[in-house]
Amino acid sequence: MTLRWMIAGAAAFALALLTLPAGLTHSHAHAAETGGAIAGTVAPACDVDARPANFDFTLQDMNGEDVSFAELQGKVVLLNFWATWCGPCKIEVPWFVEFAEQYGADGLVVAGVSIDDTADKIQEFATQYDVNYPMLVGLGRDDFMESYGPIWGVPMTFFIDREGTLCRTHAGIAAREEFEKDITDLL
């Protein structure tokens, strides 16, 4: 019985880590490690561990249409891995809808990749949340997820700059303001 409680406690702790608030997400961990930005300087647009993003993929969207990631090069991309059953994802998606509308003309592309849902479930979700950006089917596309990941949980969000650099990562939910800052830093 004690072993079950220990396993349950460990699982609850792991789940809590995936839903940490904004200040503890990966993208700003470097500022904490280095003592933050020096007064009067601008924070770098990319994290110190930034790497090239992989654009050599084509995924299907929820309507069965092919979406080539090569066409996203030269734009700022908010790439969000999510699932229809994910509570924090349901909080973030309306923000991403607003960002796509507000910053799309400035060169932002928002793309959502459902990690394990079928196209029909994604369509229902997109209708319910009035999603205005591509919702892609990631089911069976471990190759794509591994090229950006590993994806250990959802939500997981990546920011790619116009040069194709995978600049920032948020593992778990972040504050709306933090996402918006990441977008404006890269635009």
pTM here is 0.77
Digitized pLDDT (tens) for each residue of the chain, 187 residues in all: 454 544 544 444 444 444 444 333 444 443 433 334 434 434 567 888 889 999 999 999 999 999 999 999 999 999 999 999 999 999 999 999 999 999 999 999 999 999 999 999 999 999 999 999 999 999 999 898 888 888 889 999 999 999 999 999 999 999 999 999 999 999 9
Q: Which amino acid is at 27?
A: S
46 part of the active site: no
27/62 Cα distance (integer angstroms): 29
Cis peptide before 94 (omega within 30 of 0): no
Contact between 107 and 130 under an 8 Å Cβ cutoff? The reply is no
Catalytic choice (79, 86, 113, 160):
86
- Residues, the chain: 187
Domain carrying residue 24: 2-186
- pLDDT value of residue 40: 41
Number of domains within the chain: 1
Q: Is 86 a catalytic residue?
A: yes
* Residue ranges in 19-113 assigned as alpha helix (H): 29-34, 87-103
| Beta-strand pair 108-114/51-52 | unpaired
CA angle in degrees (0–180, nearest 5) for 100-178-136: 40
Amino acid occupying residue 123: Q
Residue 130 belongs to a domain with what CATH number? 3.40.30.10
Name the catalytic one among 46, 62, 83, 89: 89
